[in-house]
Structure 1
Amino acid sequence: MTLGRRGALGLLAGGTLGAGPAARPARAQAIGTLREDGPKPLPAFSLVDPGGEKREIPFFAGKGIVLNLWATWCPPCVEELPALDRLAALLAPEEILVIPASSDRGGRAQVEPFYARTGIRNLGIWLDPVSAAMRALGARGLPTTILIDRGGRERGRLEGAAAWDGEALVADVRRLCGAA
């Protein structure tokens, strides 16, 4: 069987033979698969919080974290951000934080108007200005989401976009991030 150029490219991109264009992640399920790890310790890294202060993981002791590495120039990141915004509102009473760490070089000045334009209301403007968290965590691309338990340990990760407000992923987040 010969694949032809389109079929070979689809397989290289993780598609299936004969499939049309990939489904859009916020309207479907995850493109990536949630991989459960650990619990395993996190490497040292810091992020810039919405107030401009550097924060390291120990700052969040006792809270679960959904750490999303993203950028405004990344189409799958932009696609999943509204679902992360809804997830943040849903999980706030449970002390599970959704932290979208933007690696945009323009920093807050680039992310703030993006949030306003897209109606993001429940997410703070967190920055990873030199992609230090991305490198420390070994992220292979954007978006990458790390699920961190209340003890500050990585419990799972998903590479690629996902419908984070879907029932199955919400249950996984509660189970993995809510654990101590």
Structure 2
Amino acid sequence: MRLSSLLIACLAAGLLTACDTGASDSTQENANADGTSETIALTGTLNRSFAGEAIPDVTLTDPDGATLDLAALKEPVLLNLWATWCAPCVVEMPLLDELAADLEGDVRVLTVSEDLRGAEVVVPFFEARDLPNLPRWMDQQNDLAFSYGGGAVLPLTILYDADGREVWRVIGAYDWSSAEAREEVLEGTTAATNAE
């Protein structure tokens, strides 16, 4: 069973208990269920070591049953893997929502839930938040996580060019509201276009 193997590997590596690593100057507050808040460090950094790798041939679904074939996309894509139980992921969602609105027409922002319970948890998550620019794609079988080595730390965000080739990735929470983030996304897709 590959799902059980993934969960065991993640638990062994401590990935399910801490979705983020290290410390940084950028932080966001995250509200807990009991009304208290905690500060989440936005410590993700860009990694270009996987540049050129193809977007995984994975089909996503949404809560209504619509599907999306990632390998068929012919546009720049910022692909974000997240889960409702991952505090840094939750902190990133409003930042990604703003980024999606700002970059509409230039880069497609795709958020993909890796929650095993799928729509059961994804739908209430979106209903409780104002995230009008983010799609509700799901990957309940964790096919994307397996494509990225079977134990991807969440959040994981990857920029792909219009040819479906990786430009860079960010492991961990990132400040998507920063001017630097927008520049990195736009420069990454522009550089890939100019190289043709």
- The 2-side partners of 1:104 and 1:173 are apart by 26
- The 1-side partners of 2:175 and 2:116 are apart by 26
Per the normalisation by structure 1, the TM-score is 0.79
Structure 1 gap ranges (5+): 1-12, 17-21
Structure 2 gap ranges (5+): 1-20, 30-38
2:53 is matched by which residue type in structure 1?
K
- Using the TM superposition, give the Cα deviation of residue 119 of structure 1 relative to its aligned residue in structure 2, in angstroms: 1.2
Q: Confirm whether residue 35 of structure 1 aligns to residue 47 of structure 2.
A: yes
Residues 82-101 of structure 1 aligned to structure 2 (within 5 Å): 82-94=94-106, 96-101=107-112
**CA pair 28-59 structure 1, distance change in 2 beyond 3 A:** same
Q: Which has the higher contact order (CA 8 A, sep 6+)?
A: 1
**CA pair 25-39 structure 1, distance change in 2 beyond 3 A:** farther
- Using the TM superposition, give the Cα deviation of residue 23 of structure 1 relative to its aligned residue in structure 2, in angstroms: 5.0
Alignment match, 2:61: 48
Task: List per-residue Cα deviations over 1:89-134 (Å, max 9, x = no partner).
Answer: 111122x111110011221231122112121111010001111111
Residues 112-123 of structure 1 aligned to structure 2 (within 5 Å): 112-123=123-134
Per the normalisation by structure 2, the TM-score is 0.73
Alignment match, 1:163: 175
**Contact 1:25-1:79 at 8 Å conserved across structures:** yes
2:108 is matched by which residue type in structure 1?
L
Give the match's secondary structure for 1:55: strand
- The 1-side partners of 2:117 and 2:53 are apart by 32
Query: What is the percent sequence identity of the aligned residues?
Result: 34
**Contact 2:57-2:71 at 8 Å conserved across structures:** no
**CA pair 109-28 structure 1, distance change in 2 beyond 3 A:** closer
**Contact 2:55-2:71 at 8 Å conserved across structures:** no
**CA pair 117-34 structure 1, distance change in 2 beyond 3 A:** same
Alignment match, 1:131: 142
- The 2-side partners of 1:52 and 1:145 are apart by 24
**RMSD across aligned C-alpha pairs, in angstroms?**
2.4
Report the more deviating stretch, 105-114 or 26-35: 26-35
Aligned length: 161
- The 2-side partners of 1:56 and 1:175 are apart by 25
Task: List per-residue Cα deviations over 1:142-166 (Å, max 9, x = no partner).
Answer: 1010111111011110000011121
Q: Confirm whether residue 153 of structure 1 aligns to residue 165 of structure 2.
A: yes
